[in-house]
Amino acid sequence: MWILKYRPSSLNDFVDQKEAIEKFKNWYNNWKPKSKAALLYGKPGTGKTCFVEAFAKDNNLELVQMNASDFRTEKAIEKVFGSAANVKSIFKKSKIFLIDEIDGLAGKEDVGGVKAIIDIIKSSQYPIVLTANDIYDPKLKQLREFCLEIEFKPLKFWDVKKKLKEICNKENISFEEKIIEEIAKKNEGDLRASINDLEIIACGKNKIIEDDLKILSERDREMEIFNALNILFKTTSLTGARTSFINVDLDTDTLFLWIYENIPNEYEKPEEINKAYEYLAKADLFRARIVFRNYWKLMRYMNDLMTIGVSLAKKEVYKKFTKFSFPSVLRKLSLTKKEREKELVKLKELSEKLNCSTQKIRKEYLPYLKFL
Ligand SMILES: Nc1ncnc2c1ncn2[C@@H]1O[C@H](COP(=O)(O)OP(=O)(O)O)[C@@H](O)[C@H]1O
Ligand SMILES: [Mg+2]
């Protein structure tokens, strides 16, 4: 991945954030035991984590790092930090601690976690750095009293552009200025997302043009559906289920197929899968009634059955990450699109000659013609 390949290995490769760096260095140079911790906060992809890594490397510090969300209990945090914070470094280097993404700790079951971090800040023999996207969660209020807050602002448009160009040059990819600008603009100062977008568009090519941006909008749409499915399957509220697809720009029939495909990816208990498909079958019944009677008022029943019905089929929420898949029916249809078009032309010719519908020919004549 390019975000790893081009991760700054030294502060020389680090762009922007001059104010934050200044404040950080000042804090570090004056740090002594019982001083405050540094709390780097700001939107994702603004360099909080990689700054600490590069700083440690440049200053020959041993970096002791953990992601807060990996260790949700007081015990786990103490295991990693409690001992390390007081024991002298084996390599005789000085140390610096990084507890990444502490907003992941803010859930109510983690109250112990916050307290443990405060205890470590109070007793550590080495400087401690925390990072967070959002520090205004009330659960972090107490912790903030023990921190010097340092803001990482969204990166400047020009800096993102410069970095993206630099990567293109290193990868020997020629580019239209406009495409780089669009990527930078779209991601609003998030360099991680910008580099990821560039990689998706440019990987394996030696030239990118403005037209390639379409790839991103297709991917965004897929992400939207994944998010919506995630809400649908995980929510326990009726309104949540009913509105889960509100931001997805697809017709009801296509959404139906997405749900149809992914029920067994999410649900594991046979009785849940059974119940979910039963509701979906009822939704399908309403779809048929809508078509036959041209009675669109029934649409809301179809919608509710396929969202609320499927959502309530679960006994409890699965705490897992589900990889959703693209509807196989749609995939098959798109693979056979050319053949089906050819077939339709022939069917229409026959339909004129035989004086009956293409549907009838397909069902009743074609099998015999094939046989003959
Ligand atoms: N200021 C920056 N200078 C150079 N690269 C950066 C900067 N900010 C982000 N990046 C790039 O984006 C990626 C993600 O940065 P990261 O430090 O993980 O962001 P954060 O921790 O703020 O979410 C890094 O691998 C790096 O390639
Ligand atoms: Mg980070």
* Protein residue with its CA nearest to atom 26 in ligand 1: 7
193 CA from centroid of ligand 2 (Å): 12
Of the residues 198, 218, 238, which one is the last residue of a structural domain? 218
Alpha carbon nearest to ligand 1 atom 17, residue: 47
Distances (CA, A) of 144 to 102, 132, 300, 303: 11, 11, 48, 46
| Tens digits of residue pLDDT in 22-75 | 999 999 999 988 899 999 999 989 999 999 999 999 998 888 887 766 555 666
Is the CB of 113 inside a 6 Å radius of any atom of ligand 1? no
Q: Give 267 or 72, the one with higher predicted confidence.
A: 267
Residue 176 and residue 100 in one domain: no
Q: Is the CB of 3 under 6 A from ligand 1?
A: yes
Residues with CB under 5 A from ligand 2 (ion): 49
pTM above 0.95, yes or no: no
Q: Which atom of ligand 1 is nearest to the CA of 51?
A: 17
Locate 61 and state its tokens. 């510090």
Whether residue 258 sits in one domain with residue 357: no
> Who has greater pLDDT, 84 or 365?
365
Torsion of CA 150, 153, 158, 160, to 10 degrees: 90
> Which residues, in sequence order, are CB contacts of 223 under 8 Å at separation 6+?
none
Instruction: Report which ligand 1 atom has the smallest distance to the Cα of 43.
Output: 22
Report if residue 117 sits inside a domain. Answer: yes
- Check residue 367 and give its pLDDT: 86
Q: For residue 338, what pLDDT is reported? A: 83
Specify whether 186 is located in the same domain as 255. no
| 145 shares a domain with 166 | no
Q: What's the CA-to-centroid distance between 10 and ligand 2, angstroms?
A: 16
Q: Would residue 49 count as lying in a domain?
A: yes
For residue 271, how far is its CA from the centre of ligand 2 (angstroms)? 41
Q: Based on the fold, state whether residues 23 and 136 are members of the same structural domain.
A: yes
Our answer on whether the CB atom of 191 is closer than 6 Å to any ligand 1 atom is yes
Say if residue 243 is in the same domain as residue 320. Answer: yes
Q: What is the pLDDT of residue 70?
A: 58
Please report which ligand is nearest the Cα atom of 47: 1
Q: What is the CATH number of the domain that holds 93?
A: 3.40.50.300
Asked if the model's pLDDT at residue 5 lies above 60, the reply is yes
pLDDT score of 200: 86
Mean pLDDT, all residues of the chain: 87
Q: What is the pLDDT of residue 89?
A: 55
- Looking at the fold, whether 350 and 260 belong to one and the same domain comes out as no
User: What is the pLDDT at residue 315?
Assistant: 92
pLDDT level of residue 341 (50, 70, 90 thresholds): confident
Count CB-CB contacts under 10 A for residue 317.
11
Q: In this predicted structure, what is the pLDDT of residue 270?
A: 96
Q: What is the mean pLDDT of residues 152-167?
A: 94
Confidence of residue 166 (pLDDT cuts 50, 70, 90): very high
Boundary-marking domain end, from 187, 218, 249: 218
Same domain, 108 and 145: yes
Q: Are residues 189 and 281 in the same domain?
A: no
12 falls within a domain: no
For residue 10, being part of any structural domain is answered with no
Residue 226: pLDDT over 70: yes
Question: What integer is the mean pLDDT of 275-295?
Answer: 94
Residue 49 beta carbon below 6 angstroms from any ligand 1 atom: yes
**CA pair distance 359, 369, nearest whole angstrom:** 15
Of the residues 124, 151, 178, which one is the last residue of a structural domain? 151
pLDDT of residue 75: 67
Q: Which atom of ligand 1 is nearest to the CA of 4?
A: 25
Are residues 289 and 313 both part of a single domain? Answer: yes
In this structure, are 101 and 212 located in the same domain? no
pLDDT at residue 132 is higher than 70: yes
Q: pLDDT (tens digit, 9 = 90+) per residue, 60-117?
A: 888 888 776 655 566 666 666 666 666 665 555 688 999 888 877 755 555 567 877 8
Ligand 1 atom with the shortest distance to the CA of 16 = 1
Give the chain's domain count: 4
| Residue range(s) defining the domain that contains residue 212 | 157-218
> pLDDT tier at 372 (50, 70, 90 boundaries)?
confident
Q: Return the best residue to mutate from 12, 163, 187, 191 for the ligand 1 pocket (most ligand atoms within 8 A of CB).
A: 191
Q: Tell me, using a 6 A CB cutoff, whether residue 41 lines ligand 1.
A: no
9 lies in a domain?
no
Residue 7, domain member (yes or no):
no
Q: Which residue has the higher pLDDT, 203 or 159?
A: 159
* pLDDT one-digit tens code per residue, 228-248: 999 999 999 988 898 888 878
User: Are 310 and 230 part of one and the same domain?
Assistant: yes
Tell me, in angstroms, the distance from the centre of ligand 2 to residue 292's CA: 54
Mutate to test the pocket of ligand 1, among 7, 17, 50 (most ligand atoms within 8 A of CB): 50
Distance 93 CA to ligand 1 centre (A): 25
